[in-house]
A and B are shown apart, each in its own frame.
Chain A
Amino acid sequence: MAQPPEPDWIEARLVGARPQAVAALLRYFRNLDLAEEAFQEACLRALKSWPKNGPPRDAASWLIMVGRNAAIDHQRRQSKLQELPDEAVISDRDDTETDMVERLDAADYRDDILRLLFVCCHPDLPATQQIALSLRIVSGLPLPRIAAAFLVGARAMEQRITRAKARIAKADISFETPGPIERAERFAVVSAMIYLVFNEGYTDANPKSERAKLCDEAIRLARLMLRLFPAEPEMMGLLALMLLQHSRQKARFDTTGAPILLEDQDRSLWNRKYIAEALAMIDKAMLHRKPGPYQIQAAIAALHARAKLPEETDWTGIDELYQALELHAPSPVVTLNRSVAIWKLHGAEAALEMIAPLAEALDSYFYFHGVRGNLLEQLGRDFEARDAFGRAIGLANTPAEAMHIRQHLDRLDGENAGLSE
Chain B
Amino acid sequence: MLYTILCYHNEEITSSWTEEEDAAVIECLKTVNRKWAKNFEPIVRLMPTSAATTLRKTENIVMDGPFAETKEQLLGFYVVNVDSLEMAIQIAREMAEANPGGAYELRPIALYYPNGEAIENGSTS
- Which A residues are closer than 8 A to B by beta carbons? 3, 5-6, 9, 12-13, 15-17, 19-20, 57-59, 106, 213, 216, 220, 223-224, 226-227, 230-231, 236, 239, 276-277, 280-281, 284, 287
Contacts and interface: CB of A to CB of B under 8 A. Distances in A.
Interface in B1-39: 10-13, 15-19
Contacts of B101: 5, 9, 12-13
B119 interface: no
Contacts of A284: 51, 53, 64
A228 to B, nearest CB: 10
Contacts of B11: 223, 227
B100 A9 contact: yes
24 contacts: A3-B100, A5-B100, A12-B16, A12-B101, A13-B10, A16-B15, A16-B16, A58-B71, A216-B19, A220-B15, A223-B11, A223-B50, A224-B15, A226-B50, A227-B50, A230-B50, A230-B63, A231-B63, A231-B64, A231-B65, A239-B50, A280-B51, A284-B51, A284-B53
Contact of A6 (B50, B64, B100): B100
B65 A220 contact: no
B47 A276 contact: yes
Contact of B48 (A16, A59, A277): A277
Given A106-B69, A224-B12, A12 B47 contact: no
A280 B71 contact: no
Interface string B35-65: 0000000000001111101000000001111
Contacts of A223: 11, 15, 48, 50
B13 A12 contact: yes
Contacts of B64: 230-231, 236, 284
Contacts of A15: 13, 16
B9 to A, nearest CB: 10
Given A216-B18, A226-B50, A280-B47, 13 more contacts: A12-B101, A13-B13, A16-B12, A226-B65, A227-B50, A230-B63, A231-B63, A239-B50, A277-B48, A281-B50, A284-B51, A284-B64, A287-B62
